């Protein structure tokens, strides 16, 4: 069975049922030496943008979760809550990936943009294993192979036809919650905003990093 979808995540709809969507690219994430479960950490409080020309993912699963962050700059007042769609892949290959972060710098009275580019062409792709992306919004054209919608989140890696890695560690996932899984996902023209990314391994071919104050540095 194959399914195609284009659209963005809207949380009023997500609270009822997740549509067949998948996060399609990743920021430079946390590399875990053993490639095991994704690490649990408090997010920074800043969303970032990611775009990709093409993503090929194998062993896909997606389920709802919560990211917690800090509400003050001293790192002591913990409690900001961000609903996310956690998308996971056993393996993924990404072409023409861009990540951008917008940061206000009060000391200099300017907005600074950090931009990363990698995987410039089919011969130099970004490659990831055990990839988890905590997504707030996604737009893409997508094709899923052998998709199951309505699976319990805890069964996406172990049930008959289980696809994705183990559930992301931490208390931010409801094991019996609504999930979907697919043998593979193929996405193009990807634009997303996300709160966090983790991966067992993350290889970025042709990586370029730039800082600037021009808003055109954003991925989209």
The DSSP-derived string for 51-117 is EEEEEEEEEEEEEEEEEEEESSTTS--EEEEEEEEEEEEEEEEEEEEEEEEEEEETTTTEEEEEEEE
DSSP string, 149-217: EEEEGGGTTTSTT--S-SPPSSSSB-TTSEEEEEEEEEEEEEEEEEEEEEEEEEE-TT-EEEEES-GGG
| Separation of alpha carbons 149 and 17, rounded Å | 10
Look at residues 3, 4, 19 and name the one whose alpha carbon lies nearest to residue 135. Answer: 19
Q: Given CA atoms 146, 158, 195, 206 in this order, what sign does their dihedral have? A: negative
Instruction: State the pLDDT at residue 159.
Output: 61
Instruction: State the pLDDT at residue 172.
Output: 72
Predicted confidence band at 40 (pLDDT cuts at 50, 70, 90)? low
Instruction: State the pLDDT at residue 44.
Output: 80
For the chain, the domains span: 2-97+118-204
Predicted confidence band at 154 (pLDDT cuts at 50, 70, 90)? confident
Reduced to 3 states (helix: H, G, I; strand: E, B; else coil), residue 13 is helix
Which CA distances in Å does 179 have to 139, 142, 154, 171, 193? 19, 17, 9, 16, 20
Tokens encoding 122 = 């089919």
Instruction: State the pLDDT at residue 168.
Output: 76
Q: Given CA atoms 203, 207, 209, 215 in this order, what sign does their dihedral have? A: negative
pLDDT in tens, 97-134: 999 999 988 888 899 999 999 999 999 999 999 999 99
Reduced to 3 states (helix: H, G, I; strand: E, B; else coil), residue 20 is coil
Burial class (CB in 10 A: 0-12, 13-18, 19+), 43: middle
Burial class (CB in 10 A: 0-12, 13-18, 19+), 33: exposed
| Separation of alpha carbons 83 and 67, rounded Å | 6
- Judge contact between 42 and 30, C-beta under 8 A: no
Of 140 and 76, the structure prediction assigns the larger pLDDT to: 140
Q: What percent of the chain lies above the pLDDT cut of 90?
A: 53
Give this prediction's pTM: 0.77
């Amino acid at each position: 069975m194959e399914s195609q979808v284009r659209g963005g995540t809207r949380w009023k709809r997500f609270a009822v049922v997740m549509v067949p969507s998948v996060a399609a690219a990743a920021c430079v994430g946390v590399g875990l030496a053993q490639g095991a479960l994704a690490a649990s950490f408090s997010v920074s409080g800043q969303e970032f943008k990611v775009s990709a020309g093409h993503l090929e993912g194998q062993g896909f699963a997606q389920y709802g979760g919560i990211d917690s962050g800090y509400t003050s700059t001293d790192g002591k007042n913990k409690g900001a809550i961000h609903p996310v769609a956690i998308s996971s892949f056993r393996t993924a290959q990404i072409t023409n990936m861009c990540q951008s972060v917008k940061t206000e710098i009060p000391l200099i009275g300017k907005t600074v943009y950090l931009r990363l580019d990698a995987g410039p062409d089919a011969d130099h792709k970004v490659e990831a294993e055990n990839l988890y992306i905590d997504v707030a919004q996604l737009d893409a054209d997508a094709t899923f192979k052998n998709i199951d919608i309505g699976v319990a989140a805890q069964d996406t890696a172990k049930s008959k036809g289980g696809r994705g890695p183990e559930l992301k560690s931490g208390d931010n996932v409801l094991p019996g919650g609504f999930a979907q899984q697919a043998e593979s996902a193929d996405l193009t023209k990807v634009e997303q905003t996300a709160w966090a990314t983790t991966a067992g391994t993350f290889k970025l071919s042709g990586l370029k990093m730039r800082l600037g104050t021009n808003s055109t540095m954003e991925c989209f």
